[in-house]
């Protein structure tokens, strides 16, 4: 009888402990998913701004159709990628796709602004200035929320990989989460900014 009770109590404590680990993993996973939706809001905002930007520039940059189309194409691709990533935040393949698409948008925008340099009328356009300002600010916000997301993913991955959590994570299907890093950090850190001097 005594042995049985001792065994039962030990089993109970063990179960409670395992459930505790499981719940912690769930909590961390929710945290990084939540952090991703913060990026999601900002990225969507950014992609909403780009068509306006192109629309404004169209009137001035008549001979740069290819560049403008490249910007729009990159933006459309990135918009699809962010939707895919939002459906499965942290999923390595989806995040990889988003990173590539993001780099594409940043590159296309960089070329666009470099070209815009040679159109003084466009540079002076009020609409253009405010759009550019908003783009920069949105990109700064993306950078900040990206950091929050990466912190959360780091916490989750650490919890997932350490022993004994790794056993439970493996048994209950907690996959690894992917950090959101940009492929050309040097370009990204200084958001596409052109001095109008």
Contact residues: another protein, CB under 8 A: 1, 5, 8-9, 12-13, 16, 19-20, 23, 26-27, 30, 34-35, 37-38, 41, 44-45, 137, 140-141, 143-145, 147-149, 151-152, 155
159 within 8 A of 84, measured Cβ to Cβ: no
Residue number, 38 or 52, with CB nearest to another protein: 38
Does a cis peptide bond (omega within 30 degrees of 0) precede residue 164?
Answer: yes
Closest separation in Å from C-beta 59 to another protein: 26
Closest C-alpha among 34, 124, 107 to residue 71: 107
Chain centre to alpha carbon of residue 122: 31
Residue number, 122 or 131, with CB nearest to another protein: 131
Closest separation in Å from C-beta 26 to another protein: 8
Closest separation in Å from C-beta 156 to another protein: 11
Closest separation in Å from C-beta 91 to another protein: 18
Name the one residue in this structure whose structure tokens are 């560049």.
67
152 within 8 A of 60, measured Cβ to Cβ: no
């Amino acid at each position: 009888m005594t042995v049985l009770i001792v065994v039962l109590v030990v089993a109970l404590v063990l179960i409670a402990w395992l459930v505790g680990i499981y719940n912690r993993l769930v909590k961390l996973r929710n945290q990084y998913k939540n952090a991703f939706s913060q990026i999601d809001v900002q990225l969507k905002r950014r992609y909403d701004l780009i068509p306006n930007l192109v629309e404004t520039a169209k009137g001035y940059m008549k001979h740069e159709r290819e560049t403008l189309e490249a910007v729009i194409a990159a933006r459309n691709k990135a918009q699809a990628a962010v939707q895919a990533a939002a459906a499965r935040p942290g999923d390595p393949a989806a995040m990889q796709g988003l990173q590539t698409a993001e780099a594409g948008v940043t590159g296309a925008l960089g070329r666009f602004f470099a070209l815009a340099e040679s159109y003084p009328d466009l540079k002076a356009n009020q609409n253009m200035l405010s759009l550019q300002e908003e783009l920069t600010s949105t990109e700064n916000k993306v950078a900040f929320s990206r950091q929050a997301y990466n912190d959360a993913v780091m916490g989750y991955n650490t919890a997932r990989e350490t022993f004994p959590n790794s056993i439970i994570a493996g048994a209950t299907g907690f996959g690894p989460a992917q950090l959101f890093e940009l492929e050309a950090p040097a370009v990204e850190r200084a958001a596409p900014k052109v001095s109008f001097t």
